[in-house]
Chain A
Amino acid sequence: MMTVHFFEVNHEIYWGLLIALYFFYTGLSAGSFILTSLGTVFGIEKYKRVAKVGVLMAIVLLAFAPIHLLFDLSQPGRALNLFLHVSGTSAMSWGVYLLILYPVCLLIYAWFMFRQDFVNGSKGTGFKAGLYRFLLFGKTDMSPAAHANDQKKAKFFGTIGVPLALAVHGYTGFILGNVQARAIWHTPMMPIIFLMSAMVSGTGLFILVLLLVEKFKFGRLRDDIKSLIADIANLMKWFIVVDGALMVIYFIVLWYSSETGYAAAYFLLHQDFWSFIGLENGLGMLIPLLILLSKKARQSIPMVAVASVLTIIGVLAMRINLVIGGQRIPLTGSKIIEYVASGRDIGIAIGIAVGAAVVLTFLYAILPMNRAGAEEKVSSSTTKGVAQ
């Protein structure tokens, strides 16, 4: 039936770029943490070597993620209300506590991981030694019992960290999934999809950061790390397979669901074609998957790096497509709601990204990054660092 709306009012999209980026950052944090837990918690020895790289990444990304939210609030000065007034029915309220517990747990976990290296590096003068002495909080015991205790505690806090990491990213899925007004969000798959795409992007960024850390901390990529990266790339391949399968399942059921659900699927496929099919699932999922299917490519650092970059782009596109795309479909009236990120939001996003990169670089530069399997070479480079 021919229908023309000749009078209606405009509605605005309030959850824009910053919210999508918040989901993206928590995902990167959760993904990289879970990866490092493979060593410390699940006992896969080779992953222990890179646990420190991953845990610092997880902490810094999680510390910067909520800044997006703070800038997105219309009343940022009242953010404290989130702690004063708890609402059990709001996923956002659950997140407030997870966003406190998770980084605290990670900090304790990281401390036990770094403690012995702090002791080793605390002798002498200079900024680093002083910092290590401060960070030790007087716990300089290097007896075998203390070593065992470090490992036990790291495992304990790592073990608590795993469900917390799952929760801290899963809850963001609930934020969208609990909104029944929008068919595109309202699915029990949302937390699982968020978790899996977090694993994909977290692994992607972890590989890139690991390459940089190895390059700048140790000068060259050692063979054990090379083979580990091939292993991680293999893991990433499977993460992409599962994530892709979840997306396909999500999409098929959306297609066969209610009128609004079908319309949402249509929207993704047509209005959002370039972003949904092109960026998110083509460039960001299919191409890295095709790259990583080849064993030869998985052993090639440049190929793995390219695949990692692509997965990060894909997951970022996924966050934007879901968060913003979900609000572009009108609830009343007859117009698709347009969204253009404001200059302020883009500026804040760039500022936070730069800030996170600077802090992470600083931490990697000053903290002892030596690892099992590379003690000798690394300890000498550490002393050199301290001497300088």
Chain B
Amino acid sequence: MAKRYVMVIDLRRCVGCHACTVACKSENNVPLGVNRSWVEELETGKFPNVSRHRLPRLCNHCENPSCLKVCPVKATYQLEDGTVLVDYARCIGCGYCIAACPYDARFINPERKTAEKCTYCHERVEVGLLPACVNTCIAGARIFGDLNDPKSEVFKLLATQAVTVSKPETNNRPQTYYIGADGKALRPNLLEILGGEKS
């Protein structure tokens, strides 16, 4: 059976150190101002009833990616193992994939001038290494592996834990699973952001 790479992010372990963001930038030479992976942090409630939430975001390597469907030159493609990649030599930089991704996962690399996003560190995974963010995570909150392998940690976590994904309604079938993610982080109150509701 073919591999199916997924990432599980266990937010019970995440401390919000942003080491993953930095490792990703360093590994992938991501220019300033843009990010393949980042961590959103928020506070909810009012003293003394407060809490902090973190939400690492990255490309969800969706099973049914909308970015792939809209690309007019098929520069975005999906490997058999589920990894969604961009052919940097073919991309014309039209920005359609960026407009179509529900997760803000894509951007135009200001130096390369093509669309870009997280690749699950494909060149590392190919040679048996872990993605840089997973490798560097100080608390082991990011877990990467093959969902089709029942012995893998991601399989065990998905089988035994309550997991959520971001925007499941989009039919993208995202493959980044969160354990213990806060709903207000996954889906901020849009009406409040647009000025329609006071908190």
Contacts and interface: CB of A to CB of B under 8 A. Distances in A.
A342 interface: no
B85 interface: no
B170 A178 contact: no
B96 A92 contact: yes
Interface stretch (A68-76, A358-366, A374-382): A68-76
Nearest to B94: A73
Contacts of A258: 169
B93 A75 contact: yes
Interface residues of B, number: 54
B43 A85 contact: no
A90 B44 contact: no
A14 B113 CA distance: 12
B95 A74 contact: yes
A266 B184 contact: no
Given A82-B92, A182-B99, A333-B104, A262 B193 contact: no
A78 to B, nearest CB: 5
Given A179-B99, A263-B191, A267-B194, A74 B114 contact: yes
B72 A266 contact: no
Contact of B42 (A6, A14, A263): A6
A91 B71 CA distance: 9
Interface in B102-137: 102-104, 107-108, 113-114
Nearest to B57: A332
Contact of B114 (A2, A8, A10, A75): A75
Interface string A156-189: 0000000000000000000100111110000000
Given A1-B184, A7-B41, A181-B170, A74 B93 contact: yes
Interface in A311-325: none
A1 B44 CA distance: 7
A329 B93 contact: no
B69 interface: yes
A12 interface: yes
B90 A6 contact: no
Given A2-B44, A180-B170, A181-B101, A75 B91 contact: yes
A7 B70 CA distance: 31
Contacts of B188: 3, 5, 330, 332-334
**Interface core residue of A72, A178, A258, A332 (most chain B CB under 10 Å):** A332
A87 B66 CA distance: 13
Given A2-B44, A10-B33, A12-B107, A180 B73 contact: no
B20 to A, nearest CB: 13
A74 B193 contact: no
B152 interface: no
Interface string A69-105: 1001111101101101101011111001000000000
Contacts of A82: 72-73, 92
A260 interface: yes
A340 interface: no
B28 interface: no
Nearest to B41: A7
A11 interface: yes
B199 interface: yes
A270 interface: yes
Contact of B196 (A15, A84, A270): A270
Nearest to B197: A266
A277 B75 CA distance: 39
Contacts of A93: 72-73
B48 interface: no
A294 interface: no
B108 to A, nearest CB: 5
Interface string B22-43: 0000000000010100111111
Contacts of A90: 69-72, 96
Given A92-B96, A270-B194, A332-B104, A179 B70 contact: yes
Contacts of B38: 8-9
B14 to A, nearest CB: 13
Contact of A87 (B72, B93, B95, B100): B72
Contacts of B70: 89-92, 178-179
B84 interface: no
B82 to A, nearest CB: 18
B93 A3 contact: no
B13 interface: no
Interface in B56-90: 57, 66, 69-75, 90
Contact of A2 (B46, B71, B101, B104): B46
The 10 closest A-B pairs by CB, nearest first: A74-B93, A181-B102, A14-B95, A92-B72, A263-B190, A7-B41, A93-B72, A74-B113, A85-B73, A89-B69
Given A2-B44, A69-B94, 19 more contacts: A1-B44, A1-B45, A1-B184, A3-B189, A3-B192, A3-B199, A14-B108, A72-B94, A73-B92, A82-B92, A89-B69, A92-B94, A179-B100, A180-B170, A181-B99, A259-B190, A270-B194, A333-B40, A336-B194
11 contacts: A1-B44, A7-B41, A8-B40, A78-B90, A89-B70, A92-B96, A181-B66, A259-B191, A330-B190, A332-B40, A332-B166
